[in-house]
Amino acid sequence: MAIKWHYANVAYETEALAEAAVLVMKERLENNPTDWVVVKELSGNANDGWVVPATTLTDSEINSLDNTKHYSVAAVISGDNDLGLTASEATAKVAEHRSVYAYQYRVNTLVKVEEYSPSNADMSGY
Q: Where are the domains of the chain?
A: 2-112
Is the model's pLDDT at 1 over the cut of 80? Answer: no
Angle at 80 between CA 74 and CA 81, to 5 degrees: 50
Q: What radius of gyration, in Å, describes the C-alpha atoms of the chain? A: 21
Is the model's pLDDT at 115 over the cut of 90? Answer: no
C-beta separation of 39 from 57 below 8 A: yes
Task: Summarize pLDDT for 3-30 with one digit per residue, the tens.
Answer: 999 999 999 999 999 999 999 999 999 9
Q: Which helix (H) or strand (E) holds 10?
A: strand 10-12
Task: Summarize pLDDT for 45-101 with one digit per residue, the tens.
Answer: 999 999 999 999 999 999 999 999 999 999 999 999 999 999 999 999 999 999 999
Amino acid (one-letter) located at 77? I
Tell me how far CA of residue 91 lies from CA of 33, 39, 111, in angstroms.
10, 10, 32
Q: Rounded to whole angstroms, how far apart are CA atoms 34 and 41? A: 14
C-beta separation of 66 from 30 below 8 A: no
What pLDDT score was predicted for residue 125?
A: 87
- Biggest distance spanned by C-alpha atoms of the chain: 71
Enter the pTM of the model: 0.86
pLDDT band at 126 (very low <50, low <70, confident <90, very high): confident
What pLDDT score was predicted for residue 118?
A: 85
Alpha helices in 13-117 (DSSP H): 15-31, 59-62, 87-104
